[in-house]
């Protein structure tokens, strides 16, 4: 789980220093973000806000550098693990010219006949009675009483607006062939190492391990469809093959955050025993999130790499203004970074509103026993004699939090 090498350590140090520098300015400004109270940065309120934006951009750049170096470290560890595994196994209608003019001999329309008639050409350039084409029309043809226009439906299908999948990609993935993920957790670490004189007794330390289990759970759904629907609409198969797996993954996305852990639910992050909590209290939201990051670093001995917030909570952060009305996260004319203290912010309405989550996701894992599987059968109930098909989709997975203290909720935001 430890991802570190000199370049990564140095980058993390620079990032931590920049974060502390910005944090001190927020502390000076206080809950009202009054720039007049800030003494560590020179200039008026606008200059101080510009300094905050510049420092925030610097933090974003350093955070991205750290993320890139962590990716390299994980890749290196993966290669090393693979080599170890190998060693272990060794041991055991237009024209060709582009014109759209009338073809020679082509029959003229009523409109062409009218514009070529003496009535129309005689009318051009002089005042007088309106020109009329001498064609007897006894019944007015309209789209209602005449030839109804043909309309062809496009191939576009507009999905219902539903919550997108936003959390799954934050979690490292793995696979298992077991019904549960079982691992050992070090629950006792008593370090009595000390300096001793010659011939003195060595101080005794202690280590203790506890077996932990995270069961594999199944997420499933099904859909009844008639034979005719499957036979007569070619696109329906692809549509169902897209939407049913999406339903499964959307539910999994929610379970990762708020699953109760009571069978058959997964145990989501917010319901995992041992995670830390930071109350917002009277702090501005950025301050509370920073304090949660520090808890993850100090108590969890981890490096936070993601923040999860409800979109309405992130809205409040994005609209933060100083006491004299200057937007801190950028003016309304700017897109604004979806990052805070250099960490990417995943906005998900699956998380409980007014509660944020700061996490080092490298200490979590989504372990798949079997990916999304879609099957079809007419053997359900009376479907065979009714010409119906039952299409089902399911998957089996376990969610593991190896170090709960690497996660911290922020309440009251």
What is the CATH number for 368? 3.30.2400.10
pLDDT of amino acid 207:
95
Using 50, 70 and 90 to split pLDDT, how confident is the model at 124?
Answer: low
Segment 285-290 mean pLDDT: 96
In a domain, residue 407? The reply is yes
In a domain, residue 51? The reply is no
Using 50, 70 and 90 to split pLDDT, how confident is the model at 94?
Answer: very low
pLDDT of amino acid 6:
85
Query: Residue 391 and residue 395: Cα distance in Å, rounded?
Result: 14
pLDDT of 309 > 90? The answer is yes
pLDDT of 110 > 80? The answer is no
Look up residue 7 and give its two tokens.
Answer: 């370049």
In a domain, residue 9? The reply is no
pLDDT top residue among 337 and 372: 372
In a domain, residue 226? The reply is yes
Q: Tens of pLDDT along 314-342?
A: 999 999 999 888 988 888 887 777 899 99
pLDDT of amino acid 161:
84
What is the phi/psi pair of residue 277, to 5°?
A: -140, 135
Across the chain, mean pLDDT equals: 86
Write the secondary structure of the chain as one string of H (helix), E (strand) and C (coil).
Answer: CCCCCHHHHHHHHHHHHHHHHHHHHHHHHCCCCCHHHCCCCCCCHHHHHHHHHHHHHHHHHHHHHHHHHHHHHHHHHHHHHHHHHHHHHHCCCCCCCCCCCCCCCCCCCHHHHHHHCHHHHHHCCCCCCCCCCCCCCCCCCCCCCCCCCCCCCCCCCCCCCCCCCCCHHHCCEEECCCCEEEEEEEEEEECCCCCCCCCCCCCCCEEEEEEEEEECEEEEEEEEEEHHHHHHCCCHHHHHHHHHHHHHHHHHHHHHHHCECCCCCCECHHHCCCCEEEECCCCCHHHHHHHHHHHHHHCCCCCCCEEEECHHHHHHHHCCECCCCCECCCCCCCCCCCEECCEEEEECCCCCCCEEEEECHHHEEEEEEEEEEEEEECCCCCHHHHCEEEEEEEEEEEEEECCHHHEEEEECC
In a domain, residue 249? The reply is yes
What is the span of the domain harbouring residue 247?
163-192+203-310+348-411
pTM (two decimals): 0.74
In a domain, residue 256? The reply is yes
Segment 137-157 mean pLDDT: 78
pLDDT of 261 > 50? The answer is yes
Query: Of 146-155, 176-185, 214-223, 303-312, which range is least confident?
Result: 146-155
In a domain, residue 232? The reply is yes
Q: How many domains does the chain have?
A: 1
Using 50, 70 and 90 to split pLDDT, how confident is the model at 410?
Answer: very high
pLDDT of amino acid 98:
47
In a domain, residue 143? The reply is no
pLDDT top residue among 219 and 38: 219
């Amino acid at each position: 789980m430890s991802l570190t090498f000199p370049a990564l350590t140095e980058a993390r140090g620079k990032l931590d220093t920049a974060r502390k520098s910005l944090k001190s300015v927020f502390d000076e400004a206080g809950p009202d973000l009054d720039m007049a109270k800030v003494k560590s940065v020179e200039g008026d309120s606008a200059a101080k806000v510009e300094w905050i934006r510049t420092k925030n951009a610097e933090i974003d750049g350093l955070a991205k550098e750290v993320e890139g170096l962590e990716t390299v470290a994980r890749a290196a560890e993966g290669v090393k693990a693979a080599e170890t595994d190998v060693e272990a196994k060794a041991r055991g209608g237009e024209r060709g010219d582009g014109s759209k003019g009338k073809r020679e001999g082509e029959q003229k329309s009523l409109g062409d006949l009218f514009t070529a008639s003496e009535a129309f050409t005689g009318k051009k350039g002089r005042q007088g009675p309106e020109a009329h084409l001498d064609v007897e029309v006894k019944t007015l043809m309209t789209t209602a009483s005449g030839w109804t226009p043909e309309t062809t439906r496009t191939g576009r299908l507009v999905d219902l607006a539903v919550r997108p999948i936003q959390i799954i990609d934050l979690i490292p993935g793995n696979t298992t062939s077991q019904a549960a993920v079982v691992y050992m957790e070090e629950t006792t670490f008593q370090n009595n190492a000390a300096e001793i004189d010659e011939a003195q007794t060595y101080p005794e330390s202690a280590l203790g391990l506890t077996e932990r289990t995270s069961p594999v759970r199944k997420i499933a759904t099904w859909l009844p469809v008639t034979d005719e629907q499957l036979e007569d609409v070619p696109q329906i198969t692809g549509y169902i093959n897209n939407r049913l797996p999406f339903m499964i993954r959307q539910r999994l996305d929610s379970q990762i955050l708020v699953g109760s852990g009571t069978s058959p639910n997964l145990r989501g992050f917010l319901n995992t025993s041992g995670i830390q909590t930071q109350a917002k209290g009277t702090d501005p939201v950025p301050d509370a999130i920073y304090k949660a990051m520090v808890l993850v670093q100090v108590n969890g001995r981890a490096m936070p790499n993601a923040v999860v917030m409800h979109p309405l909570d992130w809205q409040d952060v994005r609209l933060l203004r100083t006491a004299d009305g200057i937007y801190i996260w950028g003016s309304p004319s700017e897109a604004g970074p979806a990052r805070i203290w250099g960490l990417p912010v995943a906005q998900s309405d699956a998380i409980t509103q007014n509660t944020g989550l700061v996490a080092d996701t490298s200490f979590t894992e989504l372990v798949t026993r079997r990916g999304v599987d879609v099957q079809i059968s007419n053997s359900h109930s009376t479907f065979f004699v009714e010409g119906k098909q039952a299409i089902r989709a399911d998957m089996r997975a376990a969610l593991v939090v190896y170090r709960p203290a690497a996660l911290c909720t922020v309440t009251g935001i």
